[in-house]
Amino acid sequence: MTNPPDEDIAEILRTQRTFAMIGASNDPSRPSYGVMAYMQARGFRIIPINPAMDGQEILGERVYASVAALEGPIDVVDIFRRPDAVPAVVAAAIAEKDRLAIKTIWMQIGVIHEEAAADARAAGLAVVMNRCPKIEYARLLA
């Protein structure tokens, strides 16, 4: 598994401020909820993606069913799903990359999928695996 160097991860977090969070939850006990709240408090826009909650709200943001349903630009697709769900998420991100100006695929701690990462890189996207943006922000920028 190869991740960008710390300087590149810090640059992603400095310049890419809109995340689509795949697998967002409205349950405060879930890690995705805590990460979303932390990142919002630091000026990030986190757009939740959860097909079971389409049209509802999490932390003041409308929930969308999929990346394809998003209307405006996003910088990062943040995947809070099991590794077996990653290829479909990455394929959807690649399909919408130009329309949504997607720059990075970010896989949360415990989420590693080398083949999907290779596909994303081949499409010109940066890839971060097995890392949490909340932890990386605190480590590199706070």
* Neighbouring residues of 74: CB distance < 8 A, sequence distance ≥ 6: 18, 19, 20, 47, 100, 101, 102
For 30-84, how does the pLDDT look when each residue is reduced to its tens digit (9 = 90+)? Answer: 999 999 999 999 999 999 999 999 999 999 999 999 999 999 999 999 999 999 9
For 94-123, how does the pLDDT look when each residue is reduced to its tens digit (9 = 90+)? Answer: 999 999 999 999 999 999 999 999 999 999
- CB atoms < 10 A from the CB of 110, how many? 12
For residue 42, count CB atoms less than 10 angstroms from its CB and return exposed for 0-12, middle for 13-18, buried for 19 or more: middle
Spatial distance between the Cα atoms of 58 and 111, rounded to a whole number of angstroms: 23
The pLDDT of residue 1: 75
- 3-state SS assignment for residue 104: strand
Taking the complete model, does pTM exceed 0.75, yes or no? yes
